[in-house]
Chain A
Amino acid sequence: MRLTTGEKVFSVLNYLFFIVVMLLMIYPFWYMIMGSFSDSAYVADGGFFLTPAGFSLAAYKAVLQNVSILSGFKVTVISTVGGTVIGTFLTATTAYAISKKRLRGRMIFSFLILFTMLFSGGLIPSYLLVKELNMIDTYWALILPSAIGAWNIFVMQSFFRGIPEELEEAAKIDGANDLTVFFRIVLPLSKAVLATIGLFIAVWYWNDFFSSVLYVTEKDMWQLQMVLKDLISNTSNAIAQAGISISYQGDVNEFTIKMASIIVSSIPILAVYPFLQKHFVKGALIGSVKG
């Protein structure tokens, strides 16, 4: 098949355009990586660079030796893993139940869940509730309040509705009860949506810092993002507030530290994507093809 000149020109322009778009997306990441490896003395005036300005691992050394970042990592990993497991499980069971027509009062349950999307109790009541449950400064405070999201439930619910009733009926005839049907028939068929929602929940937990603001007073229990936020915003604001400048500090500066912390904190969650990609793509296509 021969392409006309017009088509050739279009292809070339098309490729060029998307290469430029790609570079625009990649450059900020590239900039952070290079910045994190740079020598603090050379990056003071910022600007554009493609290779590290000087080479130094001092920023990574500072970040990885920082006890708060390490404890933040621990807290975030535990709450992300725990939150994802608990959250996905609770979301799936709730969604499955309200997807069944034979559940009495399911409209009421749906409405109550929907209601939380529109109105929430507010910060102080939520805080007082968590406090009265003695969950302050525990992992439960970081996990439970945000384990179930109404949005996720509705997404899963519409997925479950798409599973043919006949499958379940067949299982029932073979003697399965509701739990067996759910765990042995429905869940294995729903890997795609579980992966999608699970990843969604995991990213949410990974990026969460506000739960630490609300429910944590011990610094050892701060989530990673909270530690980073504090690390990055604190010094500069302190200087601005007090109107004084700062004293000389050797081989790292705020810029390189900032870049190194961002890289260190994004890599783990980025590393999860490739493993889930297969399911993720499937999840996105579910229902779009006649089956």
Chain B
Amino acid sequence: MRKLRKRKAVAALTLAAVMALSACSGNGGNGGSNGDGSGNADNAGNKGASATDAANGNNAGSTKEPLAISMALMAGPKTPDSWAEKTLESELSAKLQREVDVKPVFLPDWSELNTKINLLMSAKDTRPNILWTGDTKEFSKWVDAGIVQDVTPALQQHGQEIINYYTKETLFYHWDSSGKMYRIPGDVPEASYMTTILRKDWLDKLGLQEPKTLDEYVAVLRAFTNEDPDGNGKKDTYGLSGDNYYRSLTPFFYAYGIDVENFIKQEDGTVKFGSVMPEVKTVLELLQTLYKEGVIDPRMSTAANSDDEKVNDVFASGKVGSFYRFVDYFNPGNTAAVSFKKLNPDGEYISIDPVAGPSGFASDQPDPGIGWCYLVITDTTDVNGAVQVLNTMATPETFKLFTFGKEGEHYEMKDGVFTPTITPDEGNKLGLGNFGWYVQRKDAANIKNTEEVTAMFESKIETSKPMRDKIVVFKALNRPEWDKYSADIKKVRDELFWSIITGKKPVSAFDDFVKQYEKLGGKQIDEEAAGLFEKQQQEYVQYEAWYEENIEPFK
């Protein structure tokens, strides 16, 4: 009897534990889907679209056997059986002179993305014909296992649009030193997508000129703070604001030719981590002074301000004179620009060229040009067919069609301004954006940019060049020492730099950081970087020869 009682007690305890667990897991599940992040709900209402007219008409001229092609997709609303899919199929069928059946494989959300990709790739019958992937360490294993194909010969024959669109430098990062190319970039940002932004109406009101040098820029920021540019009699304006990332301080660091996030080529041919270069101290000193004077918005100093939506609100509020921020703000449809105009009908922002430092150096922040995602063609399909598909998707006309819809039906061009005639919700139902990041064009084919903005992006190629030439972009997928030590170093650095800027620590504390850097693994990082840089330079020589022979003649 006693035994029984004991058992009952155990059972009760276990049940209690089970229920506690189940309660936790219940909450956990819901909390997990709560996610976090900013932005709007582009994906909100993706209703399945019924294709009415597009498909089924164009196959009369087919001469070859049909091509079924499965594509792993990550972008857009992920609408199944969409108008975009049908339209793309009929475009492809017409251009390739054979019936094409596109089979989308929609990838799950970002936290589970790599798991899904690894599973899909693990068996031949589930491997998509064209795989879209972000940064993954598995890629080299796929190459070794022979499950991804070299695209060079196919690009030569069928890939003109692709090899003309991507620059030689971009393709270098996707080239394998064995003389093959196993991947095609999916989305490469513009050469530089950020710019120095100023309040034009404030400049005019205070009788100031557009600044050309850092000194002039600082003078303008001071005037924006102290001379009541909004004319309300209160000192409630800031010279500069932005997020908590160093990119918002670009005008200061770049004027001295430094980027604290990257390795910088030195005059003696070596490379050095930007954070420990001596010029950093000068810049921090200047920033400290400006912070003390109230020129720099104190909200910049908290990580809470790294949310884009928060900065958009600051931008829209009209109390800040300057930002280093997105070129996209100059598109009339941009959320932040729309809100700003609503709140400040007379306000006007302009973009200026990067300001020059004491030595005359000036640059915008360059994008590394690698692309952040890429496409691989697996061993499950004919590589020529797959490249033909991708190449057709990369042609401006086809790209515009499945990305923005039909002109006149889904959007209009009013004086060169892209104006959708459907709601974002309807766009989602049509599946617009489903095929994004498959050779995403950022040139004039991106008609969401006004002509003015497209021209700005083009001019940024030149203005970001000085720094592009100085920054080392590593090609290697594996940087073990960097992976091991960089997180700690960056944490110490961020705490220290912001402490200096906000005046909690003296500028001299920077010297200690340089010493501490070595101890935190900086030595190993430096050695690894030097080795990789040298190897990469040799590879580039090989690559140039390969490019001359294998790509140039086929353009």
Contact = CB atoms under 8 A, between A and B. Distances in A.
Interface of A: 44-45, 62-63, 65-68, 123-124, 127-128, 131, 136, 151-152, 154-155, 158-159, 161-162, 193, 196-197, 199-200, 203-204, 206-210, 212-214, 217-220, 222, 225-226, 228-250, 252-254, 257-258, 261-262, 265-266, 269, 280, 283-288, 290
Contacts of A231: 41, 43-44
B332 to A, nearest CB: 9
28 contacts: A62-B44, A68-B78, A123-B118, A123-B119, A131-B123, A151-B18, A155-B15, A203-B25, A204-B22, A206-B29, A229-B108, A229-B109, A229-B111, A232-B34, A234-B43, A238-B75, A243-B194, A243-B326, A245-B308, A246-B39, A247-B333, A253-B40, A265-B30, A266-B30, A286-B8, A286-B12, A288-B8, A288-B12
A220 B45 CA distance: 15
A254 B41 CA distance: 4
Interface stretch (B208-216, B334-342, B395-403, B490-498): B334-342
Nearest to A68: B46
Given A158-B14, A234-B110, A247 B123 contact: no
Given A68-B46, A232-B35, 13 more contacts: A67-B46, A197-B18, A207-B28, A233-B111, A235-B39, A240-B37, A243-B193, A246-B42, A249-B41, A249-B424, A253-B41, A258-B34, A284-B12
Contacts of A209: 29, 33, 112
A288 B18 contact: no
A73 to B, nearest CB: 14
B106 A262 contact: no
A249 B48 CA distance: 20
Nearest to B28: A207
A39 to B, nearest CB: 14
A246 B9 CA distance: 58
B451 interface: no
Interface residues of B, number: 82
B164 interface: no
Given A219-B80, A232-B35, A290-B5, A248 B338 contact: yes
Nearest to A155: B14
A230 B118 contact: no
B537 interface: no
Contacts of A249: 40-42, 335, 424
A283 B15 contact: yes
Interface in B96-125: 105-106, 108-112, 115-116, 118-120, 122-123, 125
Contact of A237 (B41, B110, B112): B110
Contacts of A68: 46, 78-79
B12 A232 contact: no
Given A66-B44, A286-B11, A124 B122 contact: yes
A287 B189 contact: no
A65 B77 CA distance: 14
B112 A235 contact: no
A213 B109 CA distance: 9
Interface string B17-56: 0110010011011101111111111111111100000000
Contacts of B335: 245-249
A153 to B, nearest CB: 11
Contact of B47 (A66, A213, A284): A66
B14 A244 contact: no
Given A44-B309, A219-B78, A243-B189, A262 B33 contact: yes
A129 B403 CA distance: 38
Contact of A193 (B9, B15, B372): B15
Contacts of B423: 250
Contacts of A250: 423-424
Nearest to B4: A162
A217 B104 CA distance: 9
Contacts of B12: 284-288
A245 B329 contact: yes
B266 interface: no
B30 A207 contact: yes
A257 B44 contact: yes
Q: Which 4 A-B pairs have the closest CB atoms?
A: A207-B29, A236-B37, A287-B8, A257-B41
Nearest to A136: B126
Nearest to A232: B35
Given A203-B25, A217-B126, A253-B41, A240 B48 contact: no
Contacts of A286: 8, 11-12, 15
